[in-house]
Structure 1
Amino acid sequence: MEERKKKIFGISWNVFLLGIVSFLNDMSSEMIMPVMPSYLMEVLDAGKLLSGSVMGAIESMSSLFKVAFGYVSDRFRKRKAFVFAGYALSTLAKGALAFTRYWWDFLLLRALDRIGKGIRTAPRDALIAESSEKGKTGKSFGFHRMMDTLGAVAGPLVAIALIEFLKSLPAETAYRYIFLLSAVPGAISLFVIILFVKDRGGEVKKKIKGISTLKNRNLQLFLAVVAIGALGRYSYAFTMWKAQELGYSVVQSIAFYALFNLIYALSAYPLGVYSDTFGKKRMITLGFGVAALAALAFAYARNFYTLIAAFVLYGIYIAIEDTIPRAYMADLAREYEKGTIIGAYHTVFGVFVFPASVIAGWLWGSYSLAYTFTFAAAMNVVAMVLMAFVRE
């Protein structure tokens, strides 16, 4: 208990350390994320619909496991083991991308990476909630998302540096080196988990008696709204394809992506802190509105300034969506089922992200990217309106 009282930057040491882990892991992930769209299209020769569907499947894959491993970690009260296993599987899968030859083995390894995310996410988020001061979950999750996204800022910058350093090599070879090197920061994060992160689940003495919170009608309505909002979620790859459609190079589109992640990182922590007083329901509703504006900006971007505005709005939208609902669910959940409840949120969201990207890919291939983003805007407007029926 004494160690739990130790704080840095106003948060517990455990939350701080999990932020470091996420920084390193996301740096690893984001080193490869910006080059994956080009790798799929140019090296693996996947078409537009297939590329969009593959990216969507990758985003959705992990969610099928989140509620299950959240529940198992609730049962055993040992979050750390699941957090380590999930990060380890992802690190191995990312490095192995260097040896892919077809879209299907690429998809298999990306699926293993996402399965790793599915194993770790709900137990990690539950551990963050358990390590947080009461009434300050927004602050803790905001800090964690900030650190996670600072890694996402560093990753593309490292990717740009590597592309420049390896520019004398064929593009395919350079991509493969980047995949291999991405495993290094991921491996460092594993040592941080082993040596420093502590379990907190044992401090909750009450045994599981049922998933009572999931039977709450208000929570069920919120999860339905989450599903509709997820239909308006499009992979980051579509934003990069939009930049390339306007004539920007792969390296320039990576720079736009780094800007998005910088805005995300700078927004997540203050928005998380503010949500503790402003109200998490209000902040989530606002997030759907910002999401609609971002999608419309991408749809009708014709010049540099509109595209910049789109990426800025996209960064704020994702900062809200990836931070506040987690804290909201943690506040709703009873102490003995936080992993299960947070996992349920991730699962519902992820299950609906896959058809969203299939639809987005089909609209792009059949019509244009403008239709893809307009559809996303419409879904977020519907979700924003329906939030009025969710009680505080």
Structure 2
Amino acid sequence: MEEKERKIFGISWNVFLLGIVSFLNDMSSEMINPIVPSYLTGVLREGQLVSGSVMGAIESMSSLFKVAFGYVSDRFRKRKAFVLAGYALSTLAKGALAFTRYWWDFLTLRALDRVGKGIRTAPRDALIAESSEKGKSGKSFGFHRMMDTLGAVAGPLAAIALIELLRGLPKETMYRYIFLLSAIPGLLSLFVIVLFVRDRGSEVKKKIKGISTLRSRGLQLFLAVVAVGALGRYSYAFTLWKAEELGFTVVQGIAFYALFNLIYALSAYPLGVVSDSFGKKRLITIGFLVATLASLAFAYARDFYTLVVAFVLYGVYIAIEDTIPRAYMADLAGEHEKGTIIGAYHTVFGLFVFPASVIAGYLWQARSLELAFTYAALMNALAFVMMFFVPESH
């Protein structure tokens, strides 16, 4: 960076502001995410395969756009415009869910939300990387994921409060009010971006020299591992359906979900800091092992305590796998291609997340949730083994 940037909590002011933006946006998202599974099966009356496929499509949709918009933001060195456009589209789509009547209009709006995520994610991650001190990318990404996930703790708690406040209303009406109110934190995040977040891309050389890093065999092997791990990445909805299967209420399920997000939030920042010295590849490898254990815990959970262990492991697993690979890819990428390389990671991940939830939904409908989670455990165990073949440096 050409000028010394103001810092707060040991990270740049820009990264701190992007953390605030993610906190507000994720609070908005997580006000509605815990009620979506119940809305699909209880209000829209969809079956297991359709519900699982819809959730998988939602998880996957955004990633199809990430490499494209990462590349475009590399070309124009204007990250902020894409970040703002992506968050604005998501906020609009979430509020409009209040007016859905069928699975297809619900999916259309959720797809628009995910398109918004696809537009913003790679440019935002590249902006975080460009705003970070050299050798401290794990710390910056860890802080950002911590703030993002604290929003994911606040969101379900706000949803619980709203459910209690609107308890006298029919369930469908109550859900629609929550969808509408979820747009408020999203609107606040847009003001933060417009007024305070700064572009950093212009401080990097504009010329695109070619996507040399993507030609590395080591990186290609890592992306293959990402694909296998994504095949074992079930939507959070399956964990809530598991709680429901064991007899827990919607509110109790949201409490479990808040616990998962709290563990995620408390883990992301320290894990990011540790990754800068311990090694990002090693931590990613451990993450796949934790994912295997979490999936097995969900598969064989029969009581409250085992389910708590499953949600805790799930929180640690997601904290690792949603944080460290971004920093890992940012470290590998040249200054001229950070958006493209980070976008490539997100795109590969997203392409394989969709079939993962379709397969899990099919296994649930054909046999049981236990089999769906066992399948996920096998995929994560395979990814864990494959990580040992990824070279230490590319």
Looking at structure 2, the residues matched to 58 and 382 of structure 1 have their Cα atoms a distance apart, in angstroms, of 25
What's the offset of the Cα at 1:209? 1.6
TM-superposition CA deviations, 1:59-88 (whole Å, max 9, x none): 000000000000000000000000000000
What is the aligned partner in structure 1 of residue 256 from structure 2? Answer: 256
Letter in 1 for 2:270: P
What is the aligned partner in structure 2 of residue 294 from structure 1? Answer: 294
Alpha carbons of structure 1 residues 174 and 3: separation in structure 2 relative to 1, 3 Å: farther
What's the offset of the Cα at 1:2? 7.7
Looking at structure 2, the residues matched to 2 and 9 of structure 1 have their Cα atoms a distance apart, in angstroms, of 21
Matched, 1:22 2:22: yes
What is the aligned partner in structure 1 of residue 75 from structure 2? Answer: 75
Looking at structure 2, the residues matched to 114 and 38 of structure 1 have their Cα atoms a distance apart, in angstroms, of 20
* 2:76–2:206 Cα contact (<8 Å) kept: no
Identity of aligned residues (%): 83
What is the aligned partner in structure 2 of residue 52 from structure 1? Answer: 52
TM-superposition CA deviations, 1:184-229 (whole Å, max 9, x none): 0000000000000000001112510211111111000000000000
What is the aligned partner in structure 2 of residue 145 from structure 1? Answer: 145
What is the aligned partner in structure 2 of residue 310 from structure 1? Answer: 310
Alpha carbons of structure 1 residues 144 and 261: separation in structure 2 relative to 1, 3 Å: same
Per the alignment, in what secondary structure is the counterpart of residue 155 of structure 1? helix
What is the aligned partner in structure 1 of residue 166 from structure 2? Answer: 166
Looking at structure 1, the residues matched to 372 and 133 of structure 2 have their Cα atoms a distance apart, in angstroms, of 41
* 2:77–2:206 Cα contact (<8 Å) kept: no
Looking at structure 2, the residues matched to 304 and 206 of structure 1 have their Cα atoms a distance apart, in angstroms, of 55
What is the 5 A alignment of 1:194-233? 194-233=194-233
| Corresponding residue pairs, total | 392
* 1:364–1:371 Cα contact (<8 Å) kept: yes
TM-superposition CA deviations, 1:231-277 (whole Å, max 9, x none): 00000000000001000000000000000000000000000000000
* 2:75–2:206 Cα contact (<8 Å) kept: no
Letter in 1 for 2:25: N
Looking at structure 2, the residues matched to 170 and 61 of structure 1 have their Cα atoms a distance apart, in angstroms, of 31
What's the offset of the Cα at 1:150? 0.1
- TM-score, length of structure 1 as denominator length: 0.99
* 1:138–1:272 Cα contact (<8 Å) kept: yes
What is the aligned partner in structure 1 of residue 282 from structure 2? Answer: 282
What is the aligned partner in structure 2 of residue 112 from structure 1? Answer: 112
Looking at structure 1, the residues matched to 84 and 5 of structure 2 have their Cα atoms a distance apart, in angstroms, of 24
* 2:132–2:140 Cα contact (<8 Å) kept: yes
What's the offset of the Cα at 1:6? 1.1
What is the aligned partner in structure 1 of residue 33 from structure 2? Answer: 33
What is the 5 A alignment of 1:235-274? 235-274=235-274
What is the aligned partner in structure 2 of residue 324 from structure 1? Answer: 324
Letter in 1 for 2:44: L
Looking at structure 2, the residues matched to 3 and 319 of structure 1 have their Cα atoms a distance apart, in angstroms, of 32
* 1:60–1:351 Cα contact (<8 Å) kept: yes
Per the alignment, in what secondary structure is the counterpart of residue 70 of structure 2? helix
Alpha carbons of structure 1 residues 180 and 4: separation in structure 2 relative to 1, 3 Å: farther
Per the alignment, in what secondary structure is the counterpart of residue 316 of structure 2? helix
Looking at structure 2, the residues matched to 206 and 41 of structure 1 have their Cα atoms a distance apart, in angstroms, of 49
What's the offset of the Cα at 1:5? 2.4
- TM-score, length of structure 2 as denominator length: 0.99
Matched, 1:369 2:364: no
What is the aligned partner in structure 2 of residue 175 from structure 1? Answer: 175
* 1:4–1:12 Cα contact (<8 Å) kept: no
Looking at structure 1, the residues matched to 255 and 205 of structure 2 have their Cα atoms a distance apart, in angstroms, of 49
Looking at structure 1, the residues matched to 4 and 90 of structure 2 have their Cα atoms a distance apart, in angstroms, of 29
* 1:63–1:346 Cα contact (<8 Å) kept: yes
Letter in 2 for 1:88: A
Runs of 4+ in 1 over 2 A off after TM superposition: 1-5
* 1:4–1:13 Cα contact (<8 Å) kept: no
Per the alignment, in what secondary structure is the counterpart of residue 337 of structure 2? helix
Unaligned ranges ≥5, structure 2: none
Looking at structure 2, the residues matched to 244 and 100 of structure 1 have their Cα atoms a distance apart, in angstroms, of 24
What's the offset of the Cα at 1:180? 0.1
Letter in 1 for 2:86: G
Looking at structure 1, the residues matched to 40 and 3 of structure 2 have their Cα atoms a distance apart, in angstroms, of 47
Please, what is the CA RMSD of the aligned residues?
A: 0.8
Letter in 1 for 2:109: L
Alpha carbons of structure 1 residues 388 and 2: separation in structure 2 relative to 1, 3 Å: closer
Alpha carbons of structure 1 residues 28 and 3: separation in structure 2 relative to 1, 3 Å: farther
What is the 5 A alignment of 1:310-389? 310-389=310-389
Letter in 2 for 1:212: S
Looking at structure 1, the residues matched to 42 and 284 of structure 2 have their Cα atoms a distance apart, in angstroms, of 38
Letter in 1 for 2:253: S
* 1:4–1:131 Cα contact (<8 Å) kept: no
Looking at structure 2, the residues matched to 197 and 211 of structure 1 have their Cα atoms a distance apart, in angstroms, of 28
Looking at structure 2, the residues matched to 345 and 356 of structure 1 have their Cα atoms a distance apart, in angstroms, of 17
What is the aligned partner in structure 2 of residue 190 from structure 1? Answer: 190
Unaligned ranges ≥5, structure 1: none
Per the alignment, in what secondary structure is the counterpart of residue 335 of structure 1? coil
Letter in 2 for 1:298: F
